[in-house]
Amino acid sequence: MSKAPQTGLVVRGHGRHYVVEDQDGQRIHCLTRGKKSDCVVGDRVRWMRSSEHEGVIEKVEPRRNLLFRQDEWKTKSFAANLDRLLILVAVEPQFSESQLTRALIAAQSAGITADIVLNKTDLPGAQAARERLAPYTAMGQRVLELSLKGRPDESREVLRPLLHGQATLVLGPSGTGKSTLINLLVPDAQAQVGEISQALNSGRHTTTTTQWYWMDAGREDALIDSPGFQEFGLRQIAAPDLASYMPDFKPYLGECRFHNCSHRHEPGCAVLVAVEAGAISPSRYRIYDELWDELSAPPKY
């Protein structure tokens, strides 16, 4: 048994306990040194064996990116080194446009390509959902319309080429079809969960942790499942920078009378003119206004 340092991929973690996949695809339970850990799923790490069945993470390699959310009290990381984000919404239950916008802004600020997936388009409310997403398609945001359960083969044909050769995180509230999507694209998902649970010596998989799946035997196409969330804080973004992460606002930035315009009340604001003209949707502007208040408010603690 070699105890020489080697490089691995973090495929699941909980507290200080992680599952690291080595270069041969073998998975081993690893701990971090010290009480605090900053590893996340998707990290490349330097680790070494401490026994036949366990290892120790020595170092986290530099990241290309990190998707996370941050509120006043804590920062919650989703995953690192991502190529794509799939934000899953559904015809039913009705999605929160605020949460959708927040996820898109977080991805934009991290430099990660994001696509919206509208699921359950076989249901009667599909047209109303399309209309709510119209401002996003109008600003160049890709929206994929799927019925993961109703038309699984068609959904698979749309998603497979899009996700090939990439590490893709699936994000969305419960009830939108995340599990259906995972099982559709990862036929042995339960087997992978079992393997990881065994490595962690835990009896069952819970949705409170982020989980890395391989969609292919060659380990080129990765799908990462994330736990649901109720809130999506963006405290990592300064209020004056907010508009630069909103594609429908961007064409008007730099056109305002004042260089430090907040786009809320100033005279000669090009963004407010665009809202009046219908070039920026009222719902998107309302979310911007709410986010500005949230991000500029002093901490409560």
The string of DSSP codes covering 28-40 is EEEEESSS-----
Residue 232: inside a domain: no
Number of domains in the chain: 3
Do 163 and 72 sit in the same domain of this protein?
yes
Residue 259: inside a domain:
yes
Q: What CATH number has the domain bearing residue 42?
A: 2.40.50.140
Residue 256 is assigned to a ligand binding site: yes
Report whether 263 belongs to an annotated binding site.
Answer: yes
DSSP state of 63: P
Q: Does residue 42 sit within a domain?
A: yes
**Two tokens at 185?**
């694209």
Task: For residues 60 and 77, give the distance between their C-alpha atoms in angstroms, rounded to a whole number.
Answer: 15
Residue 231 lies in a domain: no
Residues 196 and 284 in one domain: no
pLDDT at 194 (0 to 100)? 52
The residue among 225, 247, 277 that closes a domain is: 225
Q: Final residue of a domain: which of 169, 203, 225?
A: 225
- The confidence score (pLDDT) of residue 204 equals 43
Per-residue model confidence (pLDDT) at position 203: 43
Strand partners, 21: 9, 27
Domain residues for the domain of 156 are 66-225
- Whether 301 is covered by a domain: the verdict is no
Please list, in sequence order, all residues whose beta carbon lies within 8 angstroms of the beta carbon of residue 100, skipping any fewer than 6 positions away: 87, 89, 116, 136
Same domain flag for 51 and 118: no
Predicted pLDDT at 230:
74
Q: What is the CATH number of the domain that holds 169?
A: 3.40.50.300
29 marked among binding-site residues: no
| Whether residue 80 sits in one domain with residue 182 | yes
CA atoms within 13 A on the CB side of 258: 12
Q: Is 120 annotated as a binding residue?
A: yes
Longest dimension (CA), the chain: 71
Tell me whether residue 178 is annotated as binding.
yes
- Whether 218 and 95 share a structural domain: yes
pLDDT per residue rounded down to tens, the chain (301 residues): 567 889 999 999 887 889 999 999 999 999 998 777 789 999 999 999 988 889 999 999 999 999 999 988 888 999 999 999 999 999 999 999 999 999 999 999 999 999 999 999 999 999 999 999 999 999 999 999 999 999 999 999 999 999 999 999 999 888 899 989 999 999 877 755 555 555 555 544 445 678 999 999 999 999 999 887 778 999 999 999 999 999 999 999 999 999 999 999 999 999 999 999 999 999 999 999 999 999 998 876 5
Q: Is residue 45 part of a domain?
A: yes
Residues 176, 207: one domain?
A: yes
Count Cβ atoms below 10 Å from residue 260 Cβ, excluding itself: 7
**173 is an annotated ligand-binding site residue:** yes
Are 279 and 182 within one domain? no
CB 91 within 8 A of CB 125: yes
Residue 121, annotated as binding a ligand: yes
Cβ burial, residue 236 (10 Å; 0-12/13-18/19+): middle
- 44, 54 contact by CB (below 8 A): no
Integer CA distances (angstroms), 256 to 12, 46, 225, 278, in order: 47, 49, 42, 17
For 39, 107, 124, 271, the CA distances from 245, given in Å and listed in that order, are: 27, 9, 33, 14
How many CA atoms does the CB half-sphere of 294 hold within 13 Å? 19
Question: Does residue 230 fall inside a structural domain?
Answer: no
Query: Is there a single domain that holds both residue 106 and residue 185?
Result: yes
179 is in an annotated binding site: yes
On whether both 53 and 75 belong to a single domain, the answer is no
Task: Report whether 260 belongs to an annotated binding site.
Answer: no
1: in domain = no
Q: Is 250 assigned to a binding site?
A: no
209 labelled binding-site residue: no
39 is in an annotated binding site: no
**Long-range CB contacts for residues 71-77, cutoff 8 Å, separation at least 24:** 71/231, 71/233, 71/235, 72/233, 72/235, 72/299, 72/300, 72/301, 73/301, 75/236, 76/229, 77/40
Chosen domain end from 163, 196, 225: 225
138: exposed, middle or buried (C-beta count within 10 Å: 0-12, 13-18, 19+)? middle
119 and 85 housed in the same domain: yes
Q: The pTM is what?
A: 0.91
The reply to whether 134 and 277 lie within a common domain is: no
Cα separations (Å) of 11 from 41, 125, 229? Answer: 5, 37, 20
CATH of the domain at 281: 1.10.40.50
71 and 41 in a common domain: no
55 is in an annotated binding site: no
Q: What are the contacts of 129-135 at 24+ separation with CB within 8 A?
A: 129/89, 129/90, 129/91, 129/94, 129/95, 132/95, 132/97, 132/283, 133/89, 134/281, 135/248, 135/280, 135/281, 135/283, 135/284
